[in-house]
Amino acid sequence: MQEVMQSTPSYRQAQELKPVHGQYLLILQQANTLEARHLAEQFAAFPTLLATSEAFSDELTAQLQQAHAGLHVVLCGDEIFLWQVTQSLMAQGLMKDEIQQVRTQPELKKVYCVHCGETQTTTAEEFCSCEHCGVYLLIRTHFSERLGAYMGVCANPDQPMQAEGVCLY
């Protein structure tokens, strides 16, 4: 029997990451979180980029141009930040296995509405209304790494714009 494929992303804990070998680059969304401070201590011998810096994009480009094969990147930030930077890094040639992600703020997530094709940011866990088309969405645990978003599907096909009478099964 085939095992069920999990599509919910899993993230690393800051405490479990330590430099082992090779070249590392630490990218922090914010420097003042507990996870960011711990990683900054662990990876103090390596370059660190702060995403809030005005020169972040130029600094990242310079670091990647100077990098040798085998560069490992450690990202720390909220889920939206992690996937935006991951997609950018992969577009510039890094492989998924060379990128470690540490999530700091689990309450924010991106949801892709399968009805209108738009994405939105939400703090909702299970349901939200699409900001673009108004359909009341069930937020599935299915996560698209390409989109960096969870899939939102109509929660009530009989009355797609209303939350009342939602039937999940």
Q: Which DSSP helix (H) or strand (E) runs through 24?
A: strand 24-28
Q: What is the per-residue DSSP string for 47-66?
A: -EEETTSTTHHHHHHHHHHH
Supply the pLDDT for residue 32.
92
What is the tens place of the pLDDT at every residue in 120-168? 999 988 999 999 999 999 999 999 998 999 999 999 888 777 665 444 4
DSSP conformational letter for 75: E
57 vs 39: which has the higher pLDDT: 39
Supply the pLDDT for residue 100.
96
Supply the pLDDT for residue 165.
46
132-164 per-residue burial string, b: 16 or more CB within 10 A, e: under 16 = eeebbbebbeebeeeebbbbbebbbeeeeeeee
What is the tens place of the pLDDT at every residue in 96-118? 999 999 999 878 899 999 999 99
- For residues 98 and 166, what is the distance between their CA atoms, to the nearest angstrom? 42
What is the tens place of the pLDDT at every residue in 1-56? 555 556 788 899 999 999 988 899 999 999 999 999 999 999 999 999 999 988 99
Token representation of residue 122: 């939400």
The pLDDT confidence band at residue 169, using thresholds 50, 70 and 90, is very low
74 vs 2: which has the higher pLDDT: 74
Supply the pLDDT for residue 168.
44
Mean pLDDT of 80-84: 94
Domains of the chain listed by start with CATH number: 14-103 (3.40.250), 109-154 (no CATH)
